[in-house]
Amino acid sequence: MGLIARALEAAGIATVCLSSARSITESVGVPRAVYLDYPLGQTAGRAHDFAEQASVLESACRGFEDIRQPGSIVDLKLQWSADDDWKDVVMRPSPPHDGKTLPTEHQRLAGDQRTARHATPQYQHPADADAADPECTSCVFLAPDEQASS
């Protein structure tokens, strides 16, 4: 997303990029960023917490207004859990799981969580596949090689 922020800025559109991965935001070089120190998957605030989501957006608005130094990252003062233990396990080798009980949050976050990279559309619900319009005009499919060479 940082590359898109940079392209927009270069085209004259000011950006604020939310982030929950500070090192990646620093590395890509994002012009204005607002950092939420949460596990990946809720960059705009906790599920079903409208007040928190609104406060994250208000911080983004202030980012537009207040950031003067390119590359600034504003750190939000929100903490995911009192002990921050989730930070020990994300993308670290998984703890063993017996396969019978529900996985704990730690077992859910640890290890290589990536699923197989299928080349066909991956629907959340089977009913979405039935409802999908193959002529979908709001779906924009870009042809990488044609575009890159034109």
Partner 1 sequence: MAPRPPVDYIERTKSLYSSLGHRPYAWVSNTGDYPWQPIRKALGASKLGVVASGGIYRHGQVAFHHKDDVSYRRIPVNTPIAELRTTHFAYDLSAARKDPNAVLPLDALNNLVASARIRALASNALTFMGGIYSSRKVRDVLAPAIVAEMQKEAVDLALLIPV
Q: Report the alpha-carbon distance of residue 131 to residue 57 in Å, rounded.
A: 32
Buried b (16+ CB within 10 A) or exposed e, 22-47: eeebeebebbbbbbbbbeeebbbbee
Q: Which residue's entry shows tokens 């990279």?
A: 117
Q: Which residues between 78 and 137 bind partner 1 (CB under 8 A)? A: 79, 82-84, 87, 90-93, 108-109, 111-125, 128-129, 131-134, 136
Tokens at residue 145, please?
């090689």
The β-bridge relationship of strands 32-35 and 72-75 is: parallel
Minimum distance from residue 24 beta carbon to partner 1 (Å): 6
Total of chain residues touching partner 1, rule CB under 8 A: 95
Q: Does 141 interact with partner 1 (rule: CB under 8 A)?
A: yes
Residue 12 is which amino acid?
Answer: G
Instruction: Give 10 or 99: the residue with its C-beta nearer to partner 1.
Output: 10
Q: Which residues between 32 and 51 bind partner 1 (CB under 8 A)? A: 35, 37, 39-48, 50
Instruction: Give 23 or 98: the residue with its C-beta nearer to partner 1.
Output: 23
For partner 1, the binding residue among 59, 98, 100, 138 (CB under 8 A) is 138
Minimum distance from residue 112 beta carbon to partner 1 (Å): 6
Instruction: Give 98 or 112: the residue with its C-beta nearer to partner 1.
Output: 112
Instruction: Give 98 or 146: the residue with its C-beta nearer to partner 1.
Output: 146
For partner 1, the binding residue among 65, 99, 100, 101 (CB under 8 A) is 65
Tokens at residue 114, please?
């990536």
DSSP string, 71-88: TEEEEP---SSTT-THHH
